[in-house]
Amino acid sequence: MAPLSTWWFLRRLKSRLWATKRIVRALKLFLPMTRDVLRGRFRPVPWSAFAMMALALGYLIMPFDLIPDFLMLIGVVDDVLIVGWLLNRIDQCLEDYRAWKYGDPDITPS
C-alpha cells in the first residue's frame, strides 16, 4: 500500500512539475498569441498550435473518449493525461511567439 500513499503521490507530482509549468505557460500564452495573430501583428501563424488546442478542447467536450467518463476516476484521468500532453506540445509550438513577444535573443523565430 506504500505506493499509493500521499507522500508517494506528492513526490511523483513534484517530479512532474516541469510538465505542469509548461502546461500553465502554454495556457497563459495562447490567448495573447491568438489576439496578436488575429490583429495581424504576429506572423507566421502557428497552425499546429491552433490545431492541437482544437483537439484538446474537442476531446474535453466530445462524449466519446478512449476511456468513458462514467468510470469515475479512470475516465477523468485519461482526459487529464491526453489534454495535458496536448498542452505540453502546444507550449513547444509557441517558442517562436515567445521569442517575438519577449525579445529573447537566444531564440530565433523560424
- 49-72: pLDDT as tens digits: 999 999 888 887 776 777 776 677
Q: Is residue 109 part of a domain?
A: no
Per the structure, the count of domains in the chain is: 1
Domain assignment of residue 8, yes or no: no
- pTM flag (> 0.75): no
Decide if 69 is inside a domain: yes
Q: What pLDDT does residue 1 have?
A: 45
43's grid cell? 506572423
Structural domain contains residue 24: yes
C-alpha 69/C-alpha 42 separation (Å) is 38
* 108 within a domain of the structure (yes/no): no
In a domain, 77, yes or no: yes
Residue 66 in any domain: the answer is yes
For residue 93, the tally of other CB atoms under 10 A from its CB is: 19
The answer to whether position 3 is within a domain reads no
- Rounded to whole angstroms, the Cα distance separating 107 from 96 reads 7
Is pLDDT above 90 for 110? no
Domain containing 72 equals 14-102
- Across the chain, mean pLDDT equals 80
Task: For residue range 36-45, list pLDDT tens digits in order.
Answer: 999 999 999 9
